[in-house]
Each structure stands twice: as structure tokens, then as C-alpha cells.
């Protein structure tokens, strides 16, 4: 019994040693961080809370730092948790900028009062008025078009017309959609409520659900893969997912269609667009530098980088489309203020629940 006991008793001091080492390491890291925050008082250093993924935003921050000398740190997460963090931190928040990938989230950030209004001639010139908050709390950085994708072997473009037409009986068992839990679909339905009214929008979405060939998918790429596997003829996706897929396999028989381009009223309202965008936090201690970063992100140079990184459309109309985006053709976009989607988002979610859109 004696031998094992001594051996075991060695184990625990060891664990505590590891623990204390670990604790020391964290301590010193925290000291370092506090040191860093203390430095901020003299040397501006921006902290961005970003729902845009690291690999889609870091190259831009690096470029900005190279040009201005202002370092940019960032924490990535989903928009909801980031917003909750901003709210909980209140005036003490170390964050200077919030970046999200959906207008609804930006609208919500404004509602809960974590964003500060900006006065910027640069942003007013670079960002069209329907792509920014009416009180200038946030500004779109990129446009994401959510459009119809179809199997080019099974369908001619003439058979497509509007989002609403996909609810017709002839589409029975031919449609694939992403889940209603994704904010992109919530925004799409929200703007449809704005255009058609809730009752008509509900009929349309119910029609979509009736026409589904398969249960909704967890992402847009899976929708396109189902179309390629002959499970359905058409679906609704963001164009950059199409771009990503076609980049790896250009020969795939998939094509984009721009719906709602002709006709009066809702029929001709244009393609649904959503945005990724940014705003300066109310608690920011470096509002000037934060504004400088957002202004730079709307500049032609940054807009080209954003476009090339993820095949999203630039908000700055002076920036010419790159070859790939241009190859998808021109389209009329719905010019409703994208913030409207936020206002109607909860209504849209409930509508989709009612008609059983999972």
C-alpha cells in the first residue's frame, strides 16, 4: 500500500502546480491586456465586434492599419451574442465598432441604443440612402443579393418570374429552400410583408412550403447541391454562395435568375438585397478613429477588396463590378430601406412558423 500512496500523493501537488502555472499565465496575459487598454489612452487602438468572419474581414483591417498606423483588434461571434455583450457592457464597453451581416441586426442594435450616430460627408456620398440608417447609426458595407438559382438543364429562364410565382401549384415538389431560422430568409420574408402586406405574404410562403421537394436545408450550398442531385429544380440563395460553388466547379449546370424585374408594384420591386454593415458604438472612446475606419471601408479601395474576398456587391456605386459579378448580369434591386427588414423580422419569423416553414 505504501508505494502507490507516495506515487499518488505526487500527483496532486503536480496538478496544483499546473494549476498555479496556468493561473500565472492568465494573470500575466490579463496584465498585458490591461496594459494594452491603458496604452489606448494615448495610442488609439480599435476593437471591433464582428459578425463577419475573420477571414472575410482581417485583410481589410490589416490594410487599414498599414495605411493609418491604427491597430484594429476584433472579436467575432454571431450578431445576437455580440449585441448582448455590447448591451451588458454598457458604457464600459471596450468595443468601438459593431459589424454585422444582416440589416435586421443593425436595426436591432439601433433599437437597443448601442450605436452612436455619425456625421460623415464621406459616408453620405459613398453609401446610398436606402442602405444606411435614417439617423446615420449604421452604414452598409456590402450588398448581398438573395435570388433564384435553378437547374439550367431542366429549366429555361422564361419559366421563372418572381419570388411569389414559386408558390404556384405548378412548382409542386420542385422547390428547395434553406431553413427559416436563417436571418437571410427572415429578411426576405420581412421585405415581402412590406411589399405585399402580411396576408398575401403568408399565402406566398405557405405556397413555398407546399412546393418543397425536401425539408429545408441548413445552408445555401446544400440547396444548390440538392438541385444538382435532381431533387428539385430551383431554390433561393445568396449569390456569393453560388459564386463560391461555381468557382470550384465552373461546369455545374446551375444558373442565377433575377426575379421581380418587370411589372408594376410588387412584381417589379426588384431583387431582395441584404447588407453587411457597421456602426460606431455609443461607448466608443475613439469615435473619430472608428469613424475613419468605417469611412475607409466604404472607399473604393476597400470596396474592391470586400468584393473580391467574398463576391459580394459593393455599396459604393463608383466601384465597377469585377468580372465574376459582372458575368452574372445586371439587375434591379429592391430599393426599400434595408432597415425595414429589422422592423418586420419578428413578424416574418412568426409568419413562417404559422405556415410550418421550418
* Binding-site sequence positions for Fe cation: 240-241
Q: Is 214 in the site for another protein (CB under 8 A)?
A: yes
Question: The C-alpha cell of 346 is what?
Answer: 419578428
The single residue among 61, 70, 93, 307 that binds another protein, judged by CB under 8 A, is 93
CA distance 108 to 29: 34
Sites for another protein among residues 185-204 (CB under 8 A): 186
The single residue among 35, 66, 92, 264 that binds another protein, judged by CB under 8 A, is 92
CB 311 within 8 A of CB 244: yes
Q: Is 35 in the site for another protein (CB under 8 A)?
A: no
Strands (E), 27-100: 46-50, 72-76, 97-100
- 300-315 CB burial, b ≥16 within 10 A, e <16: eebbebbbebbbbbbb
Q: Is 75 in the site for another protein (CB under 8 A)?
A: yes
The single residue among 150, 163, 241, 331 that binds another protein, judged by CB under 8 A, is 241
Contact stretch for another protein (CB under 8 A) within 181-189, 192-200, 272-280, 331-339: 181-189
Q: Is 78 in the site for another protein (CB under 8 A)?
A: yes
The single residue among 53, 263, 300, 317 that binds another protein, judged by CB under 8 A, is 53
Q: Is 9 in the site for another protein (CB under 8 A)?
A: yes
- Three-class secondary structure of residue 284 per DSSP: coil
Contact stretch for another protein (CB under 8 A) within 139-147, 158-166, 226-234, 268-276: 226-234
The single residue among 159, 198, 225, 324 that binds another protein, judged by CB under 8 A, is 225
For another protein, the closer CB: 25 or 262: 25
Largest CA distance in the chain: 91
CA distance 97 to 85: 13
Q: Is 343 in the site for another protein (CB under 8 A)?
A: no
CA distance 177 to 319: 32
CA distance 233 to 243: 19
Question: The C-alpha cell of 56 is what?
Answer: 472575410
For another protein, the closer CB: 165 or 305: 305
Amino acid at each position: 500500500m505504501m508505494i502507490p500512496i507516495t506515487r499518488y500523493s505526487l500527483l496532486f501537488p503536480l496538478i496544483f502546480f499546473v494549476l498555479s502555472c496556468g493561473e500565472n499565465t492568465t494573470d500575466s496575459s490579463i496584465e498585458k491586456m490591461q496594459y494594452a487598454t491603458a496604452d489606448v489612452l494615448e495610442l488609439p487602438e480599435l476593437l471591433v465586434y464582428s459578425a463577419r468572419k475573420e477571414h472575410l474581414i482581417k485583410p481589410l483591417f490589416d490594410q487599414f492599419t498599414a495605411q493609418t498606423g491604427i491597430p484594429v483588434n476584433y472579436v467575432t461571434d454571431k450578431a445576437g451574442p455580440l449585441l448582448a455583450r455590447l448591451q451588458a457592457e454598457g458604457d464600459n464597453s471596450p468595443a468601438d465598432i459593431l459589424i454585422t451581416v444582416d440589416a435586421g441586426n443593425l436595426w436591432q442594435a439601433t433599437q437597443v441604443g448601442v450605436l452612436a450616430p455619425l456625421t460623415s460627408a464621406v459616408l453620405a456620398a459613398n453609401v446610398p440612402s436606402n442602405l444606411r440608417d435614417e439617423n446615420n447609426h449604421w452604414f452598409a458595407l456590402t450588398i448581398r443579393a438573395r435570388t433564384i438559382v435553378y437547374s439550367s438543364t431542366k429549366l429555361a429562364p422564361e419559366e421563372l418570374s418572381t419570388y411569389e410565382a414559386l408558390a404556384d401549384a405548378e412548382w409542386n415538389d420542385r422547390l428547395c429552400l434553406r431553413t427559416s431560422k436563417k436571418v437571410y430568409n427572415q429578411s426576405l420574408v420581412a421585405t415581402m410583408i412590406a411589399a405585399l402586406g402580411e396576408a398575401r405574404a403568408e399565402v406566398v410562403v405557405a405556397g413555398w412550403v407546399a412546393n418543397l421537394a425536401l425539408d429545408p436545408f441548413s445552408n445555401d450550398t446544400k440547396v444548390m447541391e440538392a438541385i444538382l442531385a435532381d431533387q428539385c429544380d430551383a431554390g433561393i440563395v445568396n449569390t456569393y454562395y453560388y459564386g463560391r460553388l461555381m468557382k470550384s466547379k465552373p461546369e455545374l449546370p446551375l444558373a442565377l435568375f433575377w426575379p421581380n424585374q418587370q411589372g408594376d408594384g410588387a412584381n417589379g420591386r426588384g431583387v431582395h438585397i441584404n447588407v453587411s454593415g457597421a456602426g460606431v458604438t455609443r461607448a466608443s472612446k475613439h469615435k473619430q478613429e472608428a469613424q475613419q475606419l468605417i469611412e475607409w471601408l466604404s472607399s473604393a479601395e476597400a470596396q474592391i477588396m470586400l468584393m473580391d474576398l467574398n463576391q459580394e456587391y459593393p455599396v459604393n456605386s463608383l466601384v465597377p463590378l469585377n468580372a465574376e459579378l459582372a458575368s452574372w448580369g445586371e439587375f434591379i434591386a429592391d430599393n426599400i430601406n434595408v432597415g425595414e427588414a429589422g422592423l418586420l423580422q419578428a413578424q416574418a419569423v412568426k409568419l413562417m412558423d404559422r405556415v410550418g416553414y421550418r
